[in-house]
Structure 1
Amino acid sequence: MVIGMPSATARPRRARRTRRTPREDPVRNELVSRSLESAQQCLLNQDYGTAFVHYLLVLNLAPVLKEFARESFRFTLFKWAEELDSLGRIQDLFDCYEQALELFPNDEVILNSMGEHLFKMGFRDEAAGHFHKALKLKPDFTEAKENFYRVANWLVERWHFLMLNDSRRNQKYQQAIRKAVESGCSTVLDIGTGTGILGMCAKKAGADKVYACELSKTMYELACEVVAANGMNGSIKILHMKSLEMEIPKDIPERVSLVVTETVDAGLFGEGIIESLIHAWNHLLLPPQNPEELSSSPALTGRVIPAGATVFGMAVECQEIRRHHRVCVPTVGGLSLSSVGNLHSPVSCKRDADDSMEPYTTERLSRLPGGYTPLTATFRALDINFNSVQELEGLCSQEPMRFNLPVVQAGVLDALAMWFQLHLDEEISLSTGPQEDTCWEQAIYPVQSHSDICVNPGDELIVEVSCEDAYLRVHSVAVVRDGSILISLDDTGEGPASSSTSNPTPEAELCSALACLQTNQGRSPETCILECSEIALLNNVHYHESFRRALDKLLTALRPQHIPQGDNSERSNGPADQEGSAGEPLYVLDVSEGFSVLALVAAQHGSVKAYSSVEKEQHQAVLALLARANGVQAEAVEFWLCRADDSDVTTVLQRPSTEKLWSAIVLDCVETCGLIRQKLMDRAALARCLLEANGRIFPQRIVMYGQLVDSDTLLLESAVQGCEPTLGFNIAPFINQFTVPVHVFLDLSTLQCKHLSNPAELFVFDLMNSTANYTDRDVRVQSTSSGRVTAIPFWYEVHLDEEISINTFSEDSHWKQAAVVLQQPLEVNAGDTVRLHVQLHNSSLSITACKEEPAACSVPNSLPRAGASY
């Protein structure tokens, strides 16, 4: 565009009058000045509520002061919000944030903070919106990015990526839907639409009308975006609601001829497919086709995809399942466990299980460390026809079915593994079996027992299968040997109502025997539920023995300085001498997360006063029982109840008597999922100030190791892969917004991958020496093989002292590993050097990777903040 000179003959335009400067308002200025002074004085007095009101007045009257007062206003808001939160005034808290955002609608820090409160209160969708807006305003805002990663795991679960990457599953669903539409099913309802892919398949196949519903707000909005991007915005109606709430004609104008859904989990019924299909048949679907009227028009009848399912199962031996669901060791850290009764995981579907118990857990059997051994042949447990409303309605009320399974392999009975074959129609099916390459895991029903239950070929396992509460419930009832009951596993004491004809014992005799049988396992009335990770921790012998040795070394070394001068009494050498010296006791604090026996391990050492942070009353009762049974005096252990928020490290670590100092503080540094705990270095800094001379933090140092790997598995579980559209639909760009660049709860020992380097030291956290710490580090790793660097798995060597350490990547570790997944894989040849930049900032750890030659860096890949929930 050419800009010319103004014409000399052009008539001059009328000049715009200069806007008059607003007149000063002395009264307003005085009010602003006084209110600002009052706000600052209230801050000094820690009267945050009054200070907040004054700041609101100032900034509404004098918006020109916004930038000047922004930092002080943020600080006041956050401190006042903390008070409101502690008082339970949640509505007032959010009102304050709304007022703050009216003044600062584009303040990424306030948006992020409000998102954190929303997430804490369970409003995950709303929290994600605030985090996302904060990132749009400031893409490099680390805290908002990590919060978004955290909430993304809740809103878009990782199995969505696996399912969309499962081309075999996608193609079979597409084929079954196309067949149904071409046979006359012209109106379709997609229940639990997710990304909208099944509804789009129906529309692409030629369906006249397609409806879809989705309960998750995030997935609903995502489906709307996907459908619009694929040119179907006006032809697929998506509703943000549960199908159980849908009505005709309020939500959809008519009954549909086809329902498509994939609301099935590893246990088939866990996502509510039974309830939703019963409602659909009664209220949303045309009636099913009458087999006696095959000539009737398909357009006047209804059907469901999938048409039905067959459930299969087998009994297995699996050490990995065993160590996560029942205590397998007699002692931990020198403490005998014989007195504490039944400790088991919160997974049980027996009739006496309470509502807090889950009926099953899930595992991918093919990837479990140590593998598994089938103890029985595969048995067919259940058939269900989703096109029969009578069968669906009768499923939950029918009597439990019992099976006699011949044992074919000697071993320890650890669990029943269940899976299913999904019949999409009469010809097309999908299997979720352990040998299949599928996006589904298997349902695991662990055996909860005090000791190993050994079975041999020729034995029979009696198994009960029911669908109580529309959940698939399966458990072992008894083991039969030579026609007699060997072991009863039914805690109710009730025998099965019927048995398989393969059982040589007459039915009445078997029922009577089971009903009257008293097991000789010495079942204790004491029963305590621990999380699976806590059970695995108790089974980690090396962990507790390492802590016992390290604590003994330290306490023995410190004891002389606690004996008054002139006291010639001998030092205590162990738990047998609880009296020890007459001097000042040694104070030990264990602030481990969850259930921990380390305080008792320390208290076994004479003249020690140990404090435990275990909070649950049931867990405290178990520890008290354990202490009595092992000769630990009651006054030697005290439960350190932390009633403050977890983020308040001062309250967690403070002493009951401020003039005393801790001899040892045990910090729980690594989350079970494989990440360093949030605010670890802050806690360590405070702990150092509370130690007596020569006292120690356990662990004193943590070394992080990592390795370059080429793993398609990690890519498939982290994002939708490939440039080609999924079944021809553009989905990847939308769902990949929720990609999280770290994979947690990883079993590195069974990960399908190619190792491209040797392990390398990536970072060091020194908890005892602050001067030894750094904020960033460059690590050069030489590739040992050619391939694509797709991820960097990492783990830790936890050094309790200079000689004793624990590795989080070991066979008996209760920790899992984690991995950074690169957004852009790096192509390397053997001998190439990859530079990893590891950075720690505000409790956040990030890793970026690039090849040194040529220096073509990948897109930065960050780890979420240590301690983030996934």
Structure 2
Amino acid sequence: MPNASARPKNGRRSRRRRREDPARNELVSSSLESAQQCLFNQDYGTAFVHYLLVLNLAPMFKDFAKDSFRFTLFKWTEELDSVGRIQDLFDCYEQALELFPADEVILNSMGEHLFRMGFRDEAAGHFHKALKLRPDYPEARENFYRVANWLVERWHFLMLNDHGRNRKYQQAIQKAVQSGCNTVLDIGTGTGILGMCAKKAGAAEVYACELSKTMYELACEVLAANGMDGSIKILHMKSLEMEVPKDIPHKVSLVVTETVDAGLFGEGIIESLIHAWHHLLLPPQRGENEFQEQSATGRVIPAGATVFGMAVESAEIRRHHRLCVSEVGSLSMSAAGELHSPVSCSSEPDDSMEPYTTERLSRLPGGYKSLTEPFTALDIDFNNVQELEGLSSREVRRIHLPVTQEGELDALAVWFQLHLDEESSLSTGPQEDTCWEQAIYPVHTFFLKPRDELIVEVSCRDAYLRLCSVAVLRDGREIRLDKRLDSQHCENPVSNPNPEAELCSALACLKTDQNQTKDYSMLECSEMALLNNHDYHKSFCSALTKLISQLKVKWQNQERRSGDQLDCSDLFYVLDVSEGFSLLSLIAASRGHVKAYSSVEKKKQQEVLKRLARSNNIPEDHLEFWLNHVEDEQGMLQRPSREKLWSAIILDCVETCGLIRQKLMEKASLASLTYCRVKCISMICIRCLLEEGGSIFPAKIVVHGMLVESDTLLLESAVQGQEPTLGFNIAPFINQFTVPVHVFLDFSTLECRHLSESAELFVLDLMNATANYTDREVKVRATSGGRITAIPFWYHIYLDQDISVSTFSQNSHWKQAAVVLQQPLEVQAGDWVCLTVKLHKSTISMTAHVANAPRPMEQ
């Protein structure tokens, strides 16, 4: 035993002074000099290594070198990203964070890389840390809002605000626990609400699992706040990975889950329940007449489901999945081949295709028409493991549906009734007041008539519910829809008023299809809708024609003044940097005397443009794919050649979701620099982009908005009310993920009251970025009294002074967005409401207050 009474002679040892190490100092000094020289030479990789060496050997230089180190890190990781060295990229960030663990800028930048690579949970963690270090850091706040939309989807708020759904689940769980199911597993717990219902009902043991790290951490916080963190064990893992007794001590008597999507099986409920029945759940009750202790049997809530379907006509669905036009901006589309969205209802599974998409039919722009009565597509018993295991091998079921109204067959709409137990159920039908959307199976477009019979096949070959319209029975003849070509390949196959002629046309298409190989290309739903946006392409066509005519006149005037014959081989150069698939470069090339550069990347889509160029008599050398020759995005905005400048640069300025595209203003600032304005700046001379008289399309964006009262937007944005949800304190935790801007909004069908006329909120001048402001105060007069809960906004995109397109037009491929106020604002008719609109980079924020009233916090 040590001598406890022994004490050192001195109460505090003197600190030993570190000896100077000349060799070490020399290494630090030379490495720092080398780092700075490499940085000057744009050798960012070597500079980064030197900075690491310096800062590890001499931490006292951290403050001095911090900004240069950050800059080097960001430039070097950009290079690594461009060549696909992703692991090296993240290694660099980890090394940087070892040196600067509390640097909010580095944390935010790493989060941006993680989010772009699809690591959303990890990205959210980095944005959250950056905000904790610096709550007023706008980049981290905007990034956190963006990732929050992915991690905590808006349906979480809708479900927690759906009091009827919550009560029914609570009652079913309470009844099961009181009948003897006292050990419970909650699969996909989310906020933890179902597990807490089981514990509150008296379950002896409750376990829960959650795959999403964000939701797992949120559920842990919720359990702790409700005093249940010691009585409910929550696991951050898939239920498919759980084992007894490794993860839970024994099998449970009740599984509760709501891992169902609009198509019922899309979240993997079949696979997880089969695994649960074999590994985590007690055997089911054998039969009504066979005595068995309730505690020795297992069961599932929900107990089963019934799936319903209906054939519908909808122009909105059609234009997002099929090409509906024969011309796009004066280009004939006959040579495009088959273009379709990634959503296919084919009975044959295809990994590249989605079996369905989702829509809320009650909010579908333009509405929909029912062409058949609802039919039962499927019944499933979740308490019958043999039935679950046999689902994928079930025979394909054929259903004959009498057509009740004539119209164009565009889709099969699907919903279901979820049977929680023998007495209680939830419906996701289109007429229900529910938080659910419906599953949409786009089909082969065909004009149906009364007395027709539509033949639908239902299968579950890969544990996805698949519905496919395969044929129409008409006058005793069967017209196969799954073998027909789409409308662009046949002469009027969809809506021929003569039934006999239509039948002959369909059969002719079938025969033609058997004798040719189809060229096809897959486009995103938003890209299909863009192709079908006639006004958009017509406006661009007019603006480009006008610009080229003006430039030709300018050239001719120069020729007359100089007396020199200009080279007639000189072309106008147009660059289209639109995101995804775009025909604007081809439209430009079709104007004549134009060489156009497209940013389309996918080889199959490039082939579509080449075919269209040939069929529209556009010279092959007048279309070039710019990204085939540059390695990074910044390289896109360079000269077309050493001598030439761009005549026009087309920027994709608005995202489909309704937000201004990120880095738009930076691109516009670079693109609008003319040669004479930057020729003295050597760093930018290679990017003198527009020729004199050239233009950026669009030249200007005007943001419009309106004051509205909408309970729907409130319910989709945060858990509402002061009362706890089923008695549990959940709202403060889930509402941390409330975002101020609601996206993918259909304002034309939004349930709301208009409290004002539309007003101009903000103007972005892309041709002269120096003329832009960062904030603006606008006064809007309330035309009706009520509560302002949101400010929906949209854009008028001016291609030039006279030609514009709106993101709020009937056939727009864009959605709208809305700022949702944290606190509704009471107004009377005639009140003036002051809106402060701010633009930070590409993010719009707004505050609102009644004139002469106190100003609220920024939204």
CA distance in 2, matches of 1:158, 1:119: 19
**Which of residues 595, 615, 633 is equivalent to 1:609?**
595
CA change 1:152–1:770 in 2 (3 A) is closer
2: CA distance, partners of 1:68 / 1:283: 59
Distance 1:616 1:268 in 2: 33
The corresponding residue for 1:475 is 468
Match of 2:310, SS state, is strand
Q: Report which stretch shifted further, 119-128 or 602-611.
A: 119-128
Change (3 A) 1:23 1:310: closer
Q: Which deviates further from its counterpart, 306-315 or 816-825?
A: 816-825
**Distance in 2 separating the partners of 1:30 and 1:524:** 71
Relative to structure 1, the CA distance from residue 49 to residue 560 in structure 2 (aligned partners, 3 Å threshold; closer, same or farther) is: same
Q: Can you give the 5+ residue segments of structure 1 that lack an aligned partner in the other structure? A: 1-13, 494-512, 569-579, 862-870
**3-state DSSP of counterpart to 2:462:** helix
Indicate how the Cα distance of structure 1 residues 787 and 610 shifts in structure 2: closer, same or farther if over 3 A, else same.
same
Please state how far the C-alpha of 1:31 moved relative to its aligned partner: 4.2
CA distance in 1, matches of 2:78, 2:620: 37
Distance 1:477 1:136 in 2: 56
1:400 is the counterpart of 2:377: no
Residue 415 of structure 2 is matched in structure 1 by 419
Offset at residue 352 of structure 1 (A) = 4.8
* Equivalent residue, structure 2, for 1:774: 773
Letter of the 1:399 counterpart: E
Counterpart of 1:688 in structure 2 is 672
Who is 1:591 aligned against? 577
Instruction: Tell me, yes or no, if the aligned pair for 1:308 and 1:386 is still in contact at 8 Å.
Output: yes
Contact kept? 2:349, 2:462, Cα under 8 Å: no
**1:526 is aligned to 2:519:** yes
Q: Distance in 1 between matches of 2:517 and 2:51?
A: 62
Structure 1 521/786 Cα, relative in aligned 2: closer, same or farther at 3 Å? farther
1:237 and 2:228 aligned? no
Instruction: State the partner residue of 2:482.
Output: 490
Aligned twin of 2:90? 94
Matches within 5 A, 1:755-774: 755-774=754-773
TM-score (norm. length: structure 2): 0.91
After superposition, the Cα gap between the structure-2 partners of 1:811 and 1:347, relative to the gap in structure 1 and judged at 3 Å, is same
Please give the per-residue CA displacement for 1:583-622, whole angstroms capped at 9, x wherever unaligned: 4111111111111111221122221111211111111111
Map 1:60-459 onto structure 2 (within 5 A).
60-352=56-348, 354-449=350-445, 453-459=446-452
Q: Give the conservation status (yes or no) of the 8 Å contact 1:319–1:370.
A: yes
Deviation of 1:665 after TM superposition, in Å, equals 1.3
SS in 1 for 2:627: coil
CA-based RMSD: 2.4
Q: Are the aligned partners of 1:581 and 1:607 in contact in 2 as well (CA < 8 Å)? A: no
Instruction: Report the 3-state secondary structure (helix = DSSP H, G, I; strand = E; otherwise coil) of the residue aligned with 2:318.
Output: helix
Which moved further from structure 2: 189-198 or 109-118? 109-118
The answer (yes or no) to whether the contact 1:563–1:584 under 8 Å persists in 2 is: no
Q: Distance in 2 between matches of 1:454 and 1:460?
A: 12
Aligned to 2:648: 664
Question: 2 CA distance for matches of 1:80 and 1:676?
Answer: 28
Indicate how the Cα distance of structure 1 residues 416 and 521 shifts in structure 2: closer, same or farther if over 3 A, else same.
farther
Residue pair 1:432, 1:438 contacting (<8 A) in 2 also: yes
Residues 61-92 of structure 1 show CA distances to partners (whole Å, capped at 9, x for unaligned) of 43333222221121122222223333443333
In 1, Cα distance between equivalents of 2:543 and 2:671 = 18
- Deviation of the 1:267 alpha carbon: 0.3
Aligned 8 A contact 2:665 2:769 in 1: no
Kindly indicate whether the alpha-carbon contact (under 8 Å) linking 1:563 and 1:583 is maintained by their aligned counterparts in 2: no
Q: 1:89 to 1:614 in 2, by over 3 A?
A: closer
1:632 pairs with 2:618: yes
**One-letter amino acid matched to 1:519:** L
1:508-547 paired onto structure 2 within 5 Å: 519=510, 525-547=518-540
Q: For the residues of structure 2 that align with 1:600 and 1:102, how far apart are their CA atoms?
A: 50
SS at 2:526 equivalent: helix
Q: Which amino acid aligns with 1:25?
A: E
- Determine the C-alpha separation between the residues in 1 that align with 2:507 and 2:364: 38
The aligned amino acid for 1:436 is: E
Q: Which residue of 2 aligns with 1:748?
A: 747
1:353 Cα deviation from its structure 2 partner: 5.8
- Per the TM alignment, residue 205 of structure 1 is displaced from its structure 2 partner at its CA by 0.4
Contact 2:483 2:510 in 1 (8 A): no
Report the equivalent of 1:551.
544
Question: Are 1:599 and 1:612, in contact at CA under 8 Å, matched by a contact in 2?
Answer: yes
Q: Relative to structure 1, is the Cα distance of residues 567 and 625 closer, same or farther in structure 2, using a 3 angstrom cutoff?
A: farther
Q: Distance in 1 between matches of 2:29 and 2:404?
A: 87
What CA distance in whole angstroms lies between the structure 2 residues aligned with 1:675 and 1:462? 42
Return closer, same or farther for 1:403/1:771 CA change in 2, 3 Å cut-off.
same
CA deviations on 1:4-49 (whole Å, 9 max, x unpaired) are xxxxxxxxxx999997794672625544433332322222122323
Structure 1 contact 826–858 (Cα < 8 Å) conserved: no
> CA distance change for structure 1 residues 26 and 518 in 2, over 3 Å: closer, same or farther?
closer
User: Residues of 2 paired with 1:225 and 1:642: CA distance?
Assistant: 49
Q: Which consecutive unaligned segments of at least 5 residues does structure 2 have?
A: 1-8, 486-503, 674-688
Q: 1:294 offset after TM fit, Å? A: 4.7
Deviates more, 1:161-170 or 1:767-776: 767-776
CA deviation digits over 1:190-217, x for unaligned, max 9? Answer: 1111111001000100111111111111
Distance 1:801 1:492, change over 3 A: closer
Distance 2:507 2:551 in 1: 58
Contact 1:350–1:491 (CA under 8 A) maintained in structure 2: no
The amino acid across from 1:481 in the alignment is: R
- CA apart distance, 1:705: 0.6
Which residue does the alignment assign to 2:830?
A: 831
CA distance in 2: counterparts of 1:124 and 1:674, whole angstroms: 21
Q: Distance in 2 between matches of 1:37 and 1:412?
A: 72
**Which of residues 448, 459, 468 in structure 2 aligns to 1:466?**
459
C-alpha change, 1:26 and 1:401, in structure 2 (3 Å) is closer
Is the Cα–Cα contact under 8 Å of residues 642 and 652 in structure 1 kept in the other structure? no
Tell me the alpha carbon deviations over residues 649-671 of structure 1, each in whole angstroms, 9 at most, x when there is no partner.
3x112234121011111111111
Aligned length: 810
Q: Is the 8 A contact 2:444 2:482 kept in 1?
A: no
Distance 2:629 2:822 in 1: 41
Q: Distance in 1 between matches of 2:769 and 2:108?
A: 30
For the residues of structure 2 that align with 1:167 and 1:399, how far apart are their CA atoms? 39
Question: Would the alpha carbon gap of residues 611 and 564 (structure 1) be closer, same or farther in structure 2, given more than 3 Å must change?
Answer: farther
* 1:750 counterpart letter in structure 2: T
Q: Could you tell me how far apart the structure 1 residues matched to 2:625 and 2:44 are?
A: 33
1:717-761 superposed Cα distances (whole Å, 9 cap, x missing partner): 111111111111111111111111111111000001111111111
CA shift in 2, pair 1:92/1:338, >3 Å: closer
Task: Give the letter aligned to residue 609 of structure 2.
Answer: L
Q: How far apart are the structure 1 equivalents of 2:567 and 2:36? A: 54
Q: Measure, in 1, the Cα distance between the counterparts of 2:444 and 2:817.
A: 29
Q: Distance in 2 between matches of 1:393 and 1:51?
A: 59
Measure the CA separation in 1 of the matches of 2:508 and 2:857: 65
Distance 1:616 1:37, change over 3 A: same
Cα distance change of structure 1 residues 87 and 341 upon mapping to structure 2, 3 Å threshold? closer
1:643 CA displacement: 6.5
Deviations 1:482-508 (A, max 9, x none): 2212x3112399xxxxxxxxxxxxxxx
- Preserved contact between residue 659 and residue 843 of structure 2 (Cα < 8 Å): no
**1:500 maps to what in 2?**
none
